[in-house]
Chains A and B, each alone.
Chain A
């Protein structure tokens, strides 16, 4: 298995533009997480899906952020409009079960720079 695949790896965009980050979880995994990592705030959980359904989106910073999981093999995180403070590394992770005691597998991340 190729692991969790994220695209793009790097994204540079101008303030106000729409940004879409993509994630392909590991086949067969039921849970998918989107995290944001910055020096100041560390690793923040943005949203968590189980069986393609958003379970907890309390970490989504504001209405500019939205996430979808149309099927078990694909998820997107969209920022519209983007702002410089959105600059961060965004990670997608998946795990095998809806129950606990399972590890999460992380993608390589998307480094987003908003200028």
Chain B
């Protein structure tokens, strides 16, 4: 069964705007990760945030984590047409099993 649920399922914005995607999960986690998938390709890791962290930045990406609400958000600032892709959150459970469970993903379209 899937751990994460993301919203929105689809997002369409203009180039230069910010894009925010949300992820909710159900059980305790060790960390939460965000991945990107271009059409027809494999997933590429973007950023990892540990359960004891609240916010993390990487370039134009900003990730927040609220373990009390079991939710995370991914913000892409100043979006570009090349950011068009599907974005997935994935959770690694606190049981130290290494199991990585993915959400359903958000499809982002950035219009030039």
Chain B at the A interface: mostly helix, strand, loop or mixed?
strand
Q: Is the CB of B2 within 8 A of A42?
A: yes
Pick the residue among A31, A101, A103 that contacts B30 (CB under 8 A).
A101
Among B2, B42, B43, B96, chain A packs the most CB atoms within 10 A around the CB of: B42
| Complex interface: chain B residues within 8 A of A102 (CB) | 48
Interface size on A, residues (CB 8 A): 28
Q: Total A-B residue pairs with C-beta atoms closer than 8 Å?
A: 68
Q: A8 CB to closest chain B CB, in angstroms?
A: 15
Q: B98 CB to closest chain A CB, in angstroms?
A: 5
Interface size on B, residues (CB 8 A): 25
- The complex places the Cα of A89 from the Cα of B48 at a distance, in Å, of 25
Q: Is the CB of A42 within 8 A of B103?
A: yes
Binding site for B on A (CB under 8 A): 4, 31, 33, 35, 42-45, 48, 50, 55-56, 91, 93, 95, 97-109
Give me 30 A-to-B residue pairs in the complex whose CB atoms sit less than 8 angstroms apart, sorted by A's number. Answer: A4-B42, A42-B102, A42-B103, A42-B104, A43-B43, A45-B102, A48-B99, A55-B97, A56-B97, A56-B99, A91-B42, A93-B43, A93-B100, A95-B98, A97-B98, A99-B98, A100-B30, A100-B31, A100-B92, A100-B96, A101-B48, A101-B50, A101-B92, A104-B45, A105-B45, A106-B35, A106-B43, A106-B44, A107-B42, A109-B42
